[in-house]
Amino acid sequence: MKLTRHLRAALAALLLAATLAPAALADEGMWAFNNLPRAEIKKRYGFEVTDDWVRRVQSATVRFPNGTGSFVSPEGLVLTNYHIVEDIVGELSTAERDLAKTGFVAHARAEEIKIPGLALDQLVRIEDVTARVNGAAKAGLSDTEAGAARQAEIGRIEAESAKASGMRAEVVTLYQGGVYNLYYYKRYTDVRLVFAPEFQAAFFGGDPDNFNFPRYDLDMALVRVYENGSPLRPENYFKWSKKGPQENELSFVSGSPGTTQRLLTVANLEYLRDVQLPLTLRILESRRDALKKYMAGGEEQTRRGQNELNYAENFVKVFGGEIEGLRGKELMARKNGEESALRAYAESSRSRKDYVEAWDAVARARKSLASYDNRRRLLGGGTLTDYAQSGFNTVLFNYARSLVRLAEEGAKPDAGRLPEYTDARRGALEAALYSEAPVYDDFEQMKLAASLTLMRDVLGANDALVRKVLNGKTPEARAAELISGTKLKDLAYRRELAAGGQKAVESSNDPMIVLARDVDAEARQLRRRYEEEVVGVERTAYGKIARALFEKEGTGIYPDATFTPRLSYGAVKGYRENGKLVKPFTYISGLYERAAEHGNKFPYNLAPSWAEKKSAVDLKVPFNFVTTNDIIGGNSGSPTFNRDMELLGLIFDGNIQSLVGNFYYDESVNRAVSVDSRGMLEALRNVYGAKEVADELTR
């Protein structure tokens, strides 16, 4: 993958800055709500974080399946990104009514569109269950046995807690196994679309501008939560700021950042660089290329493929940037230095001698994983956006695998099941399995053929698994046979198979079910080996490393992101790029200027509404802005707000320098990019005529 000269220069500048910067910078961290750096915030910004303030912020923030949102009105309006509901917009569209092309505004409650299968989670409370989880790993157990014991205990905790509370209960592993916290969520399942701009307004500048600044995007959407048939009256919500963000103002971001890997050992990072990320990038590039070829077939093919192409192009840039950073000498030198210092601390006292071998244990686990990891990942399957593992890239295989495993796991005691098939997580599984999203045969066939081709190329045409999967056919012919032959496109048929349990699934001759059955034994075996030889070993090892870190640094450190609710703090502030000052704000005028510079050609063409309403728009209104808030994927849709819980903006991206934020943060150049509250209001009122919505937000 070739990175642009601009990207290489930006990364080089970032890595150089990192070597000159102190190890911990004041605005760094995605902090758990039960461990906030209150003293540091007060010291730097003069703001005292109270328990009541934390409770209200936590209550006003919700988690989407793929990002974040926030309550922004007393009548249940939730603000998030367009790209968080992009798939939903596609599913609610048809060839005759393409909402991505036209945008959507509900001027009255009756016009709001119910979103099938969408559930939003609101964090209610957190409990520390570290002692109970670790207590299940009795003395004398091997790392593998200890890992299995901890996992079984986690299953019991989740089941007991969900039953007792009536809420969703999820045990989260923090500090790579140093701490286990139990998160309780209230779930909302009646969610309706209220507003979405055109795709082109949300993604102005497309892939070339992605992870860049200045930006001119209206990457926003609004949905409404209902409860018992009426709009929800949330206890807390963010009040819309008409004044908007001001330069150097204290800013907070609450949301559910996906994953970071800042606490990984050097051996683990080397594994990512040399083995894991190259395959991930190869998968993404294969998907991107196949999608572009398919979309060249016409307007309808473009409509079907656009969302997935956006994901693919986005993550090609993300993982390409991560690889580039990991291959740089400066990043690894920094990580080697941090690790050497912590190891020396562990070796300095006999009381810490048990910690010393942890780094070598991780290195051994990663070395053994390399021999089978590509195979494990290609067999693993996953969701539509699970780019880390996919040899069967079609939602129809996902359905088949879920049904095969649901039948087998359902016959086991709850605590003995795979975690995703426990009663506590059944709701999320069924929401995906019983999705009413349309399925297009030619689209699924194209995706499956491309992924089967990749599997053949990675594992080799003579590999036993490849021969079994292809059954003597080309990837294209096998994909056509599977897609045309399966009945899993029929929701009623999926429900029928699920209701029939093991007998129905085992006797089914549906070709996709047969394929899922044929590969499941090996997929399970490799998953089990990975969990025993890598996950179990690393949970123990990282637990020891975490304890060494706690003893050396104290508890004032933040855990890696885990797609659980976090809070970051920072300020509205520009930065320098290649010696040039990048100011923190862009303005609506810049949108029109940039479109004119590029001849109004894709991806810099104006959305129809913006072209039509130019004379009605105040060009001086701020549009996008940057802050020093520490964010990562999953923070998309997060509110940016001030000390008074006034909504200043909406997170939708980071800058180029943030691409290696997965591994470390540098306050001097890492920036979070938001849509300005003033720009959103201007668009609602004067571009889309959504007066009713704008009035509700500002009452």
Three-class HEC string of 530-543: HHHHHHHHHHHHHH
Ranges under pLDDT 70 in the chain: 1-26, 381-389, 555
Q: Which of 54, 53, 2, 44 is nearest to 24 (CA)?
A: 44
Angle (CA) 631-202-261 rounded to 5° is 20
Tell me how crowded residue 97 is: count the other CB atoms within 10 A of its CB.
Answer: 10
Q: Which of 637, 189, 183 is nearest to 431 (CA)?
A: 189
What does the alpha-carbon distance between residue 621 and residue 613 come to, in Å, rounded to a whole number?
15
Report the pLDDT value the prediction gives residue 26, as an integer from 0 to 100. Answer: 60
Q: What are residue 471's phi and psi, to 5 degrees?
A: 55, 45
CA distances from 111 to 92, 106, 233, 380, 631 (A): 13, 5, 19, 41, 35
In the three-class reduction of DSSP (H, G, I as helix; E, B as strand; rest coil), residue 412 is classed as coil
Report the pLDDT value the prediction gives residue 409, as an integer from 0 to 100. Answer: 93
Task: Name every residue whose Cβ is closer than 8 Å to that of residue 62 and which is 6 or more positions away in sequence.
Answer: 68, 69, 70, 71, 78, 120, 121, 122, 188, 225
CB-based contact 275:676 (threshold 8 Å): no
CA distances from 80 to 120, 500, 564, 606 (A): 12, 39, 17, 22
What does the alpha-carbon distance between residue 697 and residue 224 come to, in Å, rounded to a whole number?
12
Element (H, E) at 674: strand 672-676
What does the alpha-carbon distance between residue 273 and residue 262 come to, in Å, rounded to a whole number?
14
What does the alpha-carbon distance between residue 355 and residue 357 come to, in Å, rounded to a whole number?
6
Report the pLDDT value the prediction gives residue 423, as an integer from 0 to 100. Answer: 86
In the three-class reduction of DSSP (H, G, I as helix; E, B as strand; rest coil), residue 367 is classed as helix
What does the alpha-carbon distance between residue 532 and residue 365 come to, in Å, rounded to a whole number?
10
Over the Cα atoms of the chain, what is R_g?
Answer: 25
CA distances from 567 to 256, 469, 571, 699 (A): 9, 45, 14, 27
Global pTM reads 0.86
Looking at domain 5-119+189-262+559-698, which of 2.40.10.120, 1.10.3210.10, 3.30.460.40, 3.30.930.10 is its CATH number?
Answer: 2.40.10.120
